[in-house]
Amino acid sequence: LEQPIASPPLRDIVSAHDTVAIVFSDLTRPMPTARVLPPLLAQLSHVPDERILLINALGTHRRNTPDELIEILGPEVAGRYPILQHDAWDDENLVRVGISSFGHPILINRAYCEADIRIVTGLIEPHLFAGFSGGPKAVLPGIAGFGTIMQNHGYKMLAHPRATYGYNEGNPMWEEVREAA
């Protein structure tokens, strides 16, 4: 975080006046968010807490309970920063950011899109049909609209021969996920 490759340090990119959205995985992912967020948030210590929004990337999963949020984030982070649990069915809180090269409308969480600085966290591991999890999957399906998720996870995408473990290049699901992000 202090000496990133090909980028200034995060602390230098973000001003105290910026709004920051940080996407984190829900309880269904084995991401050590409670260990990852504190050093990340330390780099943003010059930003007022209320200008940092933590967005729970639920995709189509259920909301996490308050106790689960404490488990995911750790008690200090969960009690200090505003938390938004994404709702893929809440059209008023989605923004259409474009149409993918596959012809699918891309709707993403409004608070994320409106933030000055957007950060995603997640675990990178092989994924059954997206090639790999993590990275842009925090956006699609994590904070995308229900229709966007269903089109990305639809039969035409799933049936593609490269929609499987370890393939990103030529994998239509992964390519659309990257476009959305």
What residues have CB less than 8 Å from 145, skipping those under 6 apart? 88, 89, 91, 94, 107, 108
Alpha carbons 65 and 81: distance in angstroms, whole number: 16
160 is catalytic: no
At residue 153, φ and ψ (nearest 5 deg) are: -100, 15
Residue with tokens 């990852």: 36
**Greatest CA separation found in the chain?**
47
What residues have CB less than 8 Å from 161, skipping those under 6 apart? none
46 is catalytic: no
Alpha carbons 160 and 139: distance in angstroms, whole number: 22
Q: Given 17, 46, 127, 160, which residue is catalytic?
A: 127
Helix, strand, coil percentages in the chain from 3-state DSSP, rounded to 5: 35, 20, 45
Q: Given 17, 46, 61, 153, which residue is catalytic?
A: 61
List, by residue number, the catalytic residues: 61, 127
